[in-house]
Amino acid sequence: MKIATEAVTAENRRIELLRRIADEGGAIAPHPDPQTKHGYEYRGLTEGAERDLQFLTEREYLDARFFDRVSLCPKCQSHHLNVREICPGCRRAQLATEVLLHHFRCGYTGRVSEFASNHSGEGGYTCPKCNRQMRHLGTEYDRFGRTSVCRQCGLSCEDLPVEAVCLACGTRTLADNLTSIDLFAYAITALGRATIRNGALFESDDQMLFVGGLRIYRRRVMIEFLRQEMRRLARFKIGFSLLMEECLGSAADDDHQEHCLSRLCECLRDTDLIGQLNDTLYAVILPQTTLKEAEALRQRIWARLGPQPPLTLTAVEVKEPIEIDQILARGNTRSAPD
């Protein structure tokens, strides 16, 4: 059995991992488990699968979404930590919350216990400094937030340091100095599904550039192209336009999606670059193209796609250098097509 496991190549192992994720419904997320090292586990996956998940995510077979952050003891990497606020003076955790009152008339500020409560039925307090009654909160006196006071050394403080004690090894560490790791939920991408069908990873030069089976650039390539256009715009003031295309419906309509994309590609010029930004979002870079020209192209593609195509198509002109994220955000908020 051991020999058989060792015989499995890294590629086969990764494809198997993709298949398992596909069997789980196309996505996996960590589940809490206090017995494990980091407090979470990916059910159904073997130990050490994290490295393969990372490998597949880097190559866009999987889409990683932040799930949670786990703090660990920097010494033993245990997640069994007792986290609490401590006194910055004596480093002990015997703290109490204290409310201060402030008398407007004389300015006296002190603990509630320092102000004698009025027991004559009228409520309120009596100020220890000027001996006047304080009946109305907000007009005669006020509460000064909440501060913490150390029962050991008497230090009052508002911003208490947070310290974690490792229950496994006893190490005391300030919260800022804890080791932390990010956990992700993974979803299989169109490329991942294509890999399962293909039975091999798309790792040749060509496959590194293009989404499997199509002349559509991968996300990281596309973002690099966008950056390059931004640089050109910043230096030579040459603007460009973008066509943002989002496929509607489920990702399972791969055939129809492919059909639409191939029609779209037929309408593009040699200099236009089309790429995938996520599972359903595609962008076309139209270099040195005004919004008017881009809009004409959009109309032409729209006519070519036939009645009620399952996608939205928006033209955007970029005349000033902006962040790539803003472009992506524009794509995500575009309006419905005409």
Partner 1 sequence: MTGFFQYFLGVLDPSAIFGFWRALPELMASAYIPWWLLGVLPVARWFLPDMVCWLVYLVEPAVIRPPLRVHARQAEPLVSVVIAGRNEAASIREAIRASLLCGYRNIEVIFVDDCSDDDTIAIARGAARSLLPHTTERIRIFSSPRRNGKASALNIGIRMARGEFIAIIDGDSAIQYGAMHHWLLPFTDPRVGAVAANLRVRNSTASLVTRLQECEYAFQVTMARLAAARLGLLTIIPGAGGLFRAEILRRLGGYDTGLGDDTDLTIKLRKQGWKLGFSVDAIVWTDVPATLRRLCRQRKRWERNMVKIRLSKHRDMLALGRYGVGNAVVMLDLLIMRITFPWVAAVGLLAFALMDGPLSAPALLIDIYWIYLVWLFVKALISRDIAFTPQPHYFLLLLVYPFYKLGLRAAVMSAELAELLRIGAKHPYVPDHVWQETPWW
Binding window for partner 1 (CB under 8 A); candidates: 33-41, 51-59, 153-161, 245-253: 153-161
Q: With binding defined as CB under 8 A, does residue 105 bind partner 1?
A: yes
> Angle of helix 254-267 relative to helix 291-305, nearest 10 degrees?
130
Q: With binding defined as CB under 8 A, does residue 144 bind partner 1?
A: yes
Identify the H or E element spanning 156.
strand 156-157
* Terminal-residue alpha carbon distance, the chain: 61
Alpha-carbon distance of 285 to 275, in angstroms, equals 8
Q: With binding defined as CB under 8 A, does residue 154 bind partner 1?
A: yes
Q: What's the full length of the chain, in residues?
A: 338
- Give whichever of 29 and 149 is closer to partner 1, judged by the CB atom: 149
Q: Is 6 exposed, middle or buried (0-12, 13-18, 19+ CB in 10 A)?
A: exposed
Q: With binding defined as CB under 8 A, does residue 67 bind partner 1?
A: no
DSSP class of residue 36?
S
User: Among residue numbers 78 through 97, which ones bind partner 1 (CB under 8 A)?
Assistant: 87-89
Measured from the CB of residue 139, what is the shortest distance to partner 1 in angstroms?
7
Question: What φ, ψ does residue 71 adopt, rounded to 5°?
Answer: -95, 140
- Give whichever of 85 and 258 is closer to partner 1, judged by the CB atom: 85
Burial 50-64 (b: 16+ CB within 10 A, else e): eebbeebbebbbbbb
Q: Residues 31, 44, 76, 107: which binds partner 1 (CB under 8 A)?
A: 107
- Give whichever of 154 and 249 is closer to partner 1, judged by the CB atom: 154
Measured from the CB of residue 87, what is the shortest distance to partner 1 in angstroms?
8
- Give whichever of 175 and 268 is closer to partner 1, judged by the CB atom: 175
Q: With binding defined as CB under 8 A, does residue 44 bind partner 1?
A: no
Binding window for partner 1 (CB under 8 A); candidates: 98-106, 188-196, 262-270, 280-288: 98-106
Q: With binding defined as CB under 8 A, does residue 175 bind partner 1?
A: no
Return the amino acid letter for 212.
G
Q: Are 115 and 134 in contact (CB under 8 A)?
A: yes
Distance (Å) of CA 225 to CA 61, 291, 316: 21, 19, 16
Q: With binding defined as CB under 8 A, does residue 106 bind partner 1?
A: yes
Q: Which residues bind partner 1 (CB under 8 A)?
A: 87-89, 100, 102, 104-110, 128-130, 138-140, 142, 144-145, 147, 154-159, 161
